[in-house]
Amino acid sequence: MSNNKEPSDETKSRWHQDPNNWFLVLFYFNKEDKRIFPPKRIAWMGWTINFANPFSVGVLLFFLFLVFIMVSLK
């Protein structure tokens, strides 16, 4: 698959349903999937983080840092 080509919905669905892409059933980890926030295993529950994408982990750490700063300023 080319880096410039968006994967099909069928491919995204296959990735999502593959139990090998879910660590401890909760954490999505798929190096092929470039999405930052894919849907959770139960889609109506919202979104999760793709822990295989370094940018998404950076976003998570940034938000945790912001929360830490806000709490420590009180």
Per the CB < 8 A criterion, the answer to whether 39 and 48 are in contact is: yes
Residue 6's pLDDT is 87
The whole-chain average pLDDT of the chain stands at 90
Average pLDDT in the 17-26 region?
92
Residue 43's pLDDT is 80
pTM over 0.85: no
Name residue 13's amino acid: S
User: Does the pLDDT of residue 1 top 70, yes or no?
Assistant: no
Cα separation, 47 vs 65, in Å, equals 20
Average pLDDT in the 20-46 region?
91
Average pLDDT in the 66-73 region?
94
